[in-house]
Homo-oligomer: A and B are copies of this chain.
């Protein structure tokens, strides 16, 4: 069995959401599984790299809007909220996801999928605990598990550890994939990533 791919995304990143819809299928076609990790671009892009958020970056902001629009048309998708709308607070969803990864790993990916769907396909905010409860319910996660995660103060540190670990591996954007130590940034690199998997690198 080949080692899993590592996949990072931020709940506030439309590109991260779009990537989440494909990454497991891409990996499966080549006999791989995927470990999903939370990322905070507010830490990596703004603090560590010293850049601005994409929508606030001249020229890059409008380009990203065109890029998303043509990606959605190409893949027959729609977003439930504008990609450039002000972002929600990513911490509540990120913390619960990090906690699930650490304490109830079998539930983590299903929660992330449901939360990304609620936010990006249905346009719902995930700032409040009730929205996270609803996403977890959609994912079929036991209520008691979710309440433990929401109440556990360790969740914040677990998310911080994930983000620190990502930076230590050179991860900066959403989505980001590492396969056998080779880094791929951005959903537009997924065709190249798939070629890498098919050929076993080059």
Interface size on A, residues (CB 8 A): 29
Q: Which of B60, B170, B188 contacts A59 (CB 8 A)?
A: B170
- Is A167 a contact partner of B70 (Cβ separation < 8 A)? no
- Is B52 a contact partner of A59 (Cβ separation < 8 A)? no
Q: Which of B49, B60, B70 contacts A60 (CB 8 A)?
A: B49
A56: min CB distance to chain B, Å: 10
* Interface check A62, CB cutoff 8 A: yes
* Interface check A78, CB cutoff 8 A: no
Q: Which of B74, B182, B188 contacts A188 (CB 8 A)?
A: B188
Q: Which of B59, B73, B170 contacts A44 (CB 8 A)?
A: B59
- Is A49 a contact partner of B44 (Cβ separation < 8 A)? no
A72: min CB distance to chain B, Å: 10
* Interface check A192, CB cutoff 8 A: yes
* Interface check A57, CB cutoff 8 A: yes
- Is B63 a contact partner of A183 (Cβ separation < 8 A)? yes
Q: Name the residue among A58, A74, A189 with the largest chain B CB count within 10 angstroms.
A: A58
Q: Within the assembled complex, what's the spacing in Å between the Cα atoms of A126 and B60?
A: 29
* Interface check A29, CB cutoff 8 A: no
Q: Within the assembled complex, what's the spacing in Å between the Cα atoms of A192 and B63?
A: 15
Q: Which 7 A-B pairs have the closest CB atoms?
A: A59-B172, A49-B58, A73-B202, A48-B58, A49-B57, A49-B59, A191-B191
24 examples of A-B residue contacts, CB within 8 angstroms: A44-B59, A48-B58, A49-B57, A49-B58, A49-B59, A49-B60, A50-B57, A51-B51, A59-B167, A59-B170, A59-B172, A62-B170, A63-B170, A63-B172, A63-B183, A63-B185, A66-B182, A66-B183, A70-B182, A73-B202, A186-B188, A188-B189, A191-B191, A191-B192
